[in-house]
């Protein structure tokens, strides 16, 4: 009863209480324990994720041809070369570009496409000089050795001979019912060879040899099925052809078959064909790759391990390099001597449908299903 009473406290503005209310004083409760220090693992994981993201971004921009480093037969040998340059991107076609060809002087490039146009481009500037209009899709183009005429093969089975800059209508030569997928001119400029066919169904797959000035048919060469490709040998006295039935044939200008090579174990079908400038090697392309067939039976045939789904082939003027286009969108350069990949020039946004080497050896042109024509500067080899 004599104990000193606790000193009163007055709460001011305490929620739920009236100001001035007297509350007893009491000691504060024991403070809660401090939380444990944070684990270092979240920080480490975040750093790892950032590192992996940066590494993936770096690899995405490195020019590494991943799809060509390995093949069914093991790693594809490569030869180091300076990085190539995409020099020009030629825009104008409104559909897939199906064919490209250089003029003899390397100053002009011709392209044809599904938009039924033929376009003539200046190589140095990328400027479109002419646009010619066909009635059907343009499947093939080539330039006459005189540099003044352009030959085009169309979906309606006709070949047209144009003189750009002239007001004359093109010479029209009706040859077959199926598309003209290739057209070639003899080295002396007097004869033309054409053919094509269809991948499915009934197809006119004959090769036709005709006189360029008159359009008169000289020979029909039979022996292939469905799709067919052909070219003159540099001598101008022989023709080489390849088809879907996996045969390579040689003919003379009279239509006599000189030889036949069965490619069954080597090529699925022939979708592209090119002849080396010296005439000693024929390159045949197909879904499984590129097969190199020598003129002489004394030399063994070879395969390039790496290219697949080949859609276009072109030799460099010196015959040492082969340009390869594929439906896998790539454009590549291969060494003929070593059989190695020299350069992966780059890609289109869709299948590459045709390639051409400039007569001066400085450029490779590619035609894409993405509607673009691209000009690539060929890298100089190291001495």
Helix (H, G, I), strand (E, B) or coil at 374: strand
For the segment(s) 70-377, the CATH number from 2.60.40.2140, 2.60.120.10, 2.130.10.10, 3.20.20.220 is: 2.130.10.10
Per-residue exposure over 58-79, b if at least 16 CB sit within 10 Å of its own CB, e if not: eeeeeeebeebeeeeeeebebb
What is the predicted pLDDT for the residue at 165?
Answer: 80
Per-residue exposure over 114-148, b if at least 16 CB sit within 10 Å of its own CB, e if not: bbbbbbbbebeeeeeeeebebebbbbbbbbbeeee
What is the predicted pLDDT for the residue at 324?
Answer: 97
Q: Using an 8 Å Cβ cutoff, are 244 and 199 in contact? A: yes
* CA neighbor of 265 nearest in space, from 229, 301, 241, 230: 301
**What are the residues whose beta carbons fall under 8 Å from the beta carbon of 168, sequence distance 6 or more?**
none
Rounded to 5 degrees, φ, ψ at 69 are -75, -20
CB atoms within 10 A of CB 208: 22
- For the chain, first and last CA: distance in Å? 114
What is the predicted pLDDT for the residue at 202?
Answer: 53
What is the predicted pLDDT for the residue at 15?
Answer: 43
Q: pLDDT tens for the chain, 383 residues: list them.
A: 444 443 343 333 444 444 444 334 344 455 555 555 555 666 777 767 677 777 666 555 444 443 443 343 444 444 444 454 577 899 999 999 999 999 998 899 999 999 999 999 999 999 999 999 999 999 999 999 999 999 999 999 999 999 998 888 999 999 888 899 999 999 999 999 999 876 655 567 789 999 999 999 999 998 777 778 999 999 999 999 988 777 889 999 999 999 888 877 777 788 999 999 999 999 999 888 899 999 887 788 999 877 888 999 999 999 999 999 999 999 999 999 999 999 999 889 999 999 999 999 999 999 999 999 999 999 876 65
pLDDT 10s digits, 242-268? 887 778 899 999 999 998 888 777 777
pTM of the model: 0.76
CA atoms within 13 A on the CB side of 27: 3
pLDDT 10s digits, 213-246? 999 999 999 877 777 899 999 999 999 998 877 7
CB atoms within 10 A of CB 96: 18
Torsion on CA atoms 203, 249, 365, 279, rounded to nearest 10? -160
What is the predicted pLDDT for the residue at 75?
Answer: 43
C-alpha 204/C-alpha 228 separation (Å) is 10
CA atoms within 13 A on the CB side of 56: 6
What is the predicted pLDDT for the residue at 275?
Answer: 97
Residue the block writes with tokens 């890298």: 379
Q: Using an 8 Å Cβ cutoff, are 306 and 76 in contact? A: yes
**What are the residues whose beta carbons fall under 8 Å from the beta carbon of 354, sequence distance 6 or more?**
97, 98, 99, 100, 311, 312, 325, 366, 367
Helix (H, G, I), strand (E, B) or coil at 47: helix
What is the predicted pLDDT for the residue at 278?
Answer: 96
């Amino acid at each position: 009863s004599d104990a000193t009473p606790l000193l009163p406290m007055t709460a001011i503005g305490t929620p739920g209480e009236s100001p001035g209310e007297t509350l007893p004083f009491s000691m504060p409760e024991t403070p809660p324990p401090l939380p444990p220090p944070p684990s270092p693992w979240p920080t480490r994981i975040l750093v790892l994720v950032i590192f992996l993201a940066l590494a993936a971004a770096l690899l995405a921009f490195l020019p590494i041809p991943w799809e060509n480093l390995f093949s069914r037969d093991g790693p594809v040998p490569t030869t180091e070369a300076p990085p190539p340059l995409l020099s020009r991107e030629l825009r104008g076609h409104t559909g897939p570009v199906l064919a490209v060809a250089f003029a003899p002087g390397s100053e002009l490039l011709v392209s044809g496409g599904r938009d039924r146009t033929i376009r003539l481009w200046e190589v140095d500037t990328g400027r479109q000089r002419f646009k010619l209009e066909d009635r059907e899709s343009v499947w093939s183009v080539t330039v006459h050795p005189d540099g003044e005429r352009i030959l085009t093969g169309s979906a309606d089975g006709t070949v047209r001979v144009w003189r750009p800059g002239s007001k004359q209508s093109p010479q029209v030569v009706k040859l077959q019912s199926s598309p003209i997928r290739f057209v070639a001119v003899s080295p002396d400029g007097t004869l033309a060879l054409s053919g094509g066919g269809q991948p499915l169904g009934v197809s006119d797959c004959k090769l036709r040899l005709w006189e360029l000035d008159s359009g008169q048919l000289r020979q029909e060469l039979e022996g292939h099925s469905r799709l067919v490709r052909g070219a003159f040998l540099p001598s101008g006295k022989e023709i080489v052809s390849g088809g879907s039935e996996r045969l390579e044939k040689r003919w003379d200008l009279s239509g006599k078959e000189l030889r036949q090579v069965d490619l069954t174990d080597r090529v699925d079908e022939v979708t592209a064909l090119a002849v080396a400038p010296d005439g000693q090697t024929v390159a045949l392309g197909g879904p499984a790759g590129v097969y190199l067939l020598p003129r002489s039976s004394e030399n063994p045939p070879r395969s390039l391990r790496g290219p697949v789904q080949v859609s276009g082939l072109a030799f460099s003027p010196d015959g040492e390099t082969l340009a390869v286009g594929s439906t896998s969108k790539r454009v590549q350069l291969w060494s003929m001597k070593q059989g190695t990949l020299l350069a992966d020039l780059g890609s289109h946004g869709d299948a590459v449908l045709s390639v051409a080497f400039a007569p001066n050896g400085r450029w490779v042109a590619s035609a894409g299903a993405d509607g673009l024509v691209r000009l690539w500067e060929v890298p100089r080899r190291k001495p």
